């Protein structure tokens, strides 16, 4: 059971409901916003920020989703690991690709660009103090400075809000494997996933 009470959409701020298209979304698609709706002004700010991230992204949707799922693994965010976004699937991400995240640097179906992004995501998630000039030298083989900034913002967003989601323990709507608290460390690969909008 979630550690923060979820607000039903009829109790949300009207502007927040409109911004998030909450009435058309499934409970799983409403996600953390059901808890964030307790603080409408902050929730609207977060909605505007995340909307700007995705509306203005230049990185491929598949790459962003692979990074999100790898960060979700490090965060052990069950709801983050269980979700697949339709736009990423439409951009070529498959469950086979997700399985490659178990050992991304050895995966033949990931591009060198994706592997570089995943190395940066791993370092940021596990021990950001090990990031040094060589990390950015590696990234510059594949990305412009603007793209490195974009990638870093996505990684920070996924780390921060993934950890928040893990702490709030929002798992009720997830497939059974992600609800089972007796299971220790989980992964986004080799488990049933839920396809959602976005």
Domains of the chain: 9-55 (no CATH), 61-196 (1.20.1290.10)
What digits encode the pLDDT tens for the residues 129-184?
999 999 999 999 999 999 999 999 999 999 999 999 999 999 999 999 999 888 88
Q: Which residues, in sequence order, are CB contacts of 184 under 8 Å at separation 6+?
A: none
pLDDT band at 15 (very low <50, low <70, confident <90, very high): very high
* CB contact burial 74-83 (16+ within 10 A = b; e otherwise): bbebbbbbbb
Instruction: Note the pLDDT of residue 95.
Output: 95
Q: How far apart are CA 119 and CA 74, in angstroms?
A: 12
Q: How many CA atoms lie within 13 A of 44 on its CB side?
A: 10
Q: Which residues, in sequence order, are CB contacts of 100 under 8 Å at separation 6+?
A: 107, 109, 110, 189
Q: How far apart are CA 47 and CA 61, in angstroms?
A: 19
Q: How far apart are CA 80 and CA 13, in angstroms?
A: 25
At CA 92, angle to CA 88 and CA 83, rounded to 5? 35
pTM greater than 0.85: yes
**Looking at the predicted structure, is the pLDDT value of residue 46 above 90?**
yes
Instruction: Note the pLDDT of residue 161.
Output: 97
Q: How far apart are CA 108 and CA 111, in angstroms?
A: 8
Helix (H) and strand (E) counts for the chain?
12, 2
Q: Taking residues 7-22, what's their average pLDDT?
A: 96
């Amino acid at each position: 059971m979630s550690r923060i009470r979820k607000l039903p959409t009829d109790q949300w701020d009207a502007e927040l409901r409109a911004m998030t298209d909450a009435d058309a979304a499934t409970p799983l698609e409403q996600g953390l916003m059901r808890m964030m709706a307790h603080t409408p002004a902050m929730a609207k700010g977060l909605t505007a920020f995340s909307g700007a991230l995705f509306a203005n992204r230049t990185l491929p949707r598949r790459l962003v989703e692979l990074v999100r799922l790898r960060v979700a693994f490090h965060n052990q965010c069950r709801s983050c690991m269980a979700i697949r976004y339709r736009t990423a699937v439409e951009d070529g991400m498959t469950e086979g690709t997700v399985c490659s995240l178990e050992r991304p640097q050895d995966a033949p179906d990931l591009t060198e660009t994706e592997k570089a992004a995943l190395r940066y995501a791993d370092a940021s998630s596990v021990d950001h103090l090990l990031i040094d000039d060589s990390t950015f030298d590696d990234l510059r083989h594949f990305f412009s400075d603007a793209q490195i900034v974009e990638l870093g913002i996505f990684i920070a967003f996924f780390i921060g809000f993934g950890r928040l989601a893990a702490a709030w323990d929002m798992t009720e709507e997830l497939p059974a494997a992600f609800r089972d608290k007796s299971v220790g460390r989980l992964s986004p690969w080799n488990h049933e996933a839920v396809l959602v909008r976005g």
